[in-house]
Amino acid sequence: YTGERHPELFKERPAKGNKPGQLSRAQLDEFYTRGFTLVRDFFTKEELDAVKADITVKVSELADKLYNAGKIKDKHEGLGFYHRLCAIERDFPGANIVLHKLSTLPPSFRAIAAHERMLNLLEDIVGPNISFNPVWNLRTKTPNNAASTVPWHQDSGYFDVESYNTLIVTAWVPLLDTNEQNGTLQMVPGCHRDGYIAKHTCCAGPTWYIDLDEDIIEKEFGVDMAKDPVTLDVPYGSFLLFNNFTPHRSLNNRSDVVRWSIDFRWQRTGTPAGLFGLKPTCEVRRDGEPDFRPDWDSFDSVDRNRAQLESMARDESAADEFSAVISGPWMKKWEIVNHNKHTDAFDKNPEGWQPGMLHG
């Protein structure tokens, strides 16, 4: 916890462009004043069908591995995209976490990360030189699962302090119509404008998630948590665009299907990635070079999840391909007020660190 503030991130805006996909002036103003905006009907059916097809392959690969290892007795091959992982999770609790730790970008994910209209949109916010942040996630939100119900936080609460003066932009892309019933996102408007990261704690309930207490949000940002949070329904084909300072959370999935979503992140090239030096960004657009292509193979050569776990954990935890444990360096950054299998999985005394100390 540093207490530093970077309001300049939200005052100096690149010039408004006029390229396909770019936000309207009203949307851009909403992003800067509220900290988020809903971008409707952005993706084509074909683009999202490709994403769903790649995820289907990953679910099948996971089912095969679990079945061949004797972890499950039925691969549930007859179930569809929104139900199969639910059945696998019932047979092998933690399967959704194993899939959440997907380490390489499938082709359709790469296509979105370097999507021409998306990069056009981002130019209005970060400028013409754009890099993809290594913290991207496939969200495997199975029903009534604490491991996928994320408490209040600011994204930079997970990042190293060297990146606190970096604007990191997130596109949260759901793969179905999301709402309060199936676990959509809630945002607290306007809390980002000072560029300030409040004090979080670790870890919430049985998870690896950091937690930003509602009383702290009210005190530090001057909001009313009974009235100000906004629940955002996001139609399929649309996405939420927000920044790394806006407090948000995901609700419990009370439906009977997987609430699939992916979060992608970008930033201005040359700014800190925020991942404690474990993995760099990937340049996706370079000003003046229309034929520039990202080096995805180099980017994917570093397994972020394994690097995080190995930086914190015992070797056997990192080696278990069916481990439902996630640990990372954010656990050294905030006070651990609740211990569970995730916090217990790492060496609690790296470089003289002691439980309760705040690094950053």
pLDDT in tens, 155-196: 999 999 999 999 999 999 999 999 999 999 999 999 999 999
Kindly write down the DSSP assignment for every residue of 174-197, as one continuous string. Answer: ESS-B-TTTT-EEE-TTTTTT-BP
Specify the 3-state DSSP secondary structure of 140: strand
Give the residue among 64, 52, 85, 113 at the shortest CA–CA distance from 300: 113
pLDDT of residue 196: 97
Rounded distance, CA 307 to CA 296, Å?
18
What is d(CA 34, CA 124) in angstroms, rounded to the nearest whole number?
16
Q: How far apart are CA 81 and CA 59, in angstroms?
A: 9
Give pLDDT, residue 312: 72
The reported pLDDT for the residue numbered 305 is: 85
Q: In a structure prediction context, what are the per-residue pLDDT tens digits for the chain, which is 360 residues long?
A: 899 999 999 987 877 888 999 999 999 999 999 999 999 999 999 999 999 999 999 999 999 999 999 999 999 999 999 999 999 999 999 999 999 999 999 999 999 999 999 999 999 999 999 999 999 999 999 999 998 999 999 999 999 999 999 999 999 999 999 999 999 999 999 999 999 999 999 999 999 999 999 999 999 999 999 999 999 999 999 999 999 999 999 999 999 999 999 999 999 999 999 999 999 999 999 999 999 999 999 999 999 988 887 777 555 555 688 989 888 899 989 999 999 999 887 654 444 333 333 332
Can you tell me the distance from the alpha carbon of 305 to that of 322, in angstroms, rounded to the nearest whole number?
13
Task: Report the 10 Å Cβ neighbour count for 231.
Answer: 11
pLDDT of residue 319: 62
Domain 7-41+119-348 CATH (choose: 1.10.10, 2.60.120, 1.10.1200, 2.40.128) = 2.60.120
- What per-residue confidence (pLDDT) applies to 309? 73
At residue 53, the pLDDT reads 98
Which residue, chain included where needed, has tokens 């409040």? 198
Q: How many angstroms separate the CA atoms of 31 and 229, rounded?
A: 16
Q: Which H, E and C letters describe 268-326, residue by residue?
A: ECCCCCCCCCCCCCEEEECCCCCCCCCCHHHHHCCCHHHHHHHHHECHHHHHCCCCCCC
State how beta strands 335-336 and 201-202 pair: parallel
Q: What are the residue boundaries of the structural domains of the chain, listed by start?
A: 7-41+119-348
Distance CA 131, CA 157 (A): 20
Show Cβ contacts of residue 220 under 8 Å, excluding neighbours closer than 6 positions: 196, 198
Please classify residue 250 by burial: count the beta carbons closer than 10 Å to its beta carbon, then call 0-12 exposed, 13-18 middle and 19+ buried: buried
Look up residue 151 and give its amino acid: P
Structural tokens at position 245: 């300072």
